[in-house]
Amino acid sequence: MRALTGNEYRVERRGYKTPCHTWTRGKTKHGYAQITVNGRKRYVHRLKWEALHGRPVPEGCELDHLCRHRDCVNGEHVEPVTHTTNCRRGARTKLTKAQVCELRQRRGGGESPKLLAGEFGVAPCTVVNICAGRTWTDDD
C-alpha cells in the first residue's frame, strides 16, 4: 500500500472507544473511502486492515466497521466477518438473533405470521421467510 501522509484523514472522536480516522478524500457513492492503487480502485479501510495485520482479509469475509462510520479508515475499527453477520449488524436490521429464535419458537407453536409480524415490527413475509430458513440461516 502506498504510504498515507496523514493529510487524507482527520482523527476524530465519534463515539467509539478510540478515535476514528475520517477519510477526507474520494469516497464511493455509499460513503466508503477509496483510492486507486496500480490502476485499481481499493477500499482504504481494507488496505489499512491488511497493513495492520500483515495479511489479506480472510476468504469469504468482509470488513465490518465496528465504529459504524463507513468513512473511517482506522484499521483497528474494522473486523472480518461473514456477509450474513455484517448485514445482521447493520443499521437496517430490525431483529436480533434472540428475537429470531423466539419468533421461530412461537411460529412453531402455531402463532400466525401476521400476529408475529405486528409484534416484531416486520412484514408477515419476513416471518415466513425466517421460519422457512430462507433468511436468518444458522450458518454463523
CB-based contacts of 102: which residues, under 8 Å, 6+ apart? none
Specify the pTM.
Answer: 0.69
pLDDT tens column, 76-108: 999 999 888 888 787 667 888 889 899 999 999
pLDDT tens column, 25-35: 999 999 999 99
Residue 61 pLDDT greater than 60, yes or no: yes
In the chain, the percentage of residues whose pLDDT exceeds 70 is: 91
Residue 69 pLDDT greater than 90, yes or no: yes
φ, ψ of residue 120 in degrees (nearest 5): -95, -5
Beta-ladder partners of 12: 20
Domain ranges of the chain: 9-88, 94-131
